[in-house]
Amino acid sequence: MARSFFTRSLTFFPNSFSLSFLIHFQFHSHVLFHDHFPFHSSFPFFFSILLFFI
């Protein structure tokens, strides 16, 4: 029981880390490249990634 919880948390933490990295990257691309890549056009793609990690 504790071992399965440990492996589940081990698989969960890299997912949350990459998710926070994606949020950070989306924010910077929104600030830096707003003319080329508007945030609202890439938001459905980002939301599907968010649903994939849940």
1-54 pLDDT tens trace: 456 655 565 555 566 667 676 666 666 555 555 554 455 555 666 666 666 665
Tokens found for residue 10: 């081990």
Q: Are 26 and 42 in contact (CB under 8 A)?
A: yes
pLDDT, position 49: 67
Work out how many domains the chain is built from and give that number: 1
Q: Are 19 and 53 in contact (CB under 8 A)?
A: yes
Domain around 12: 2-53
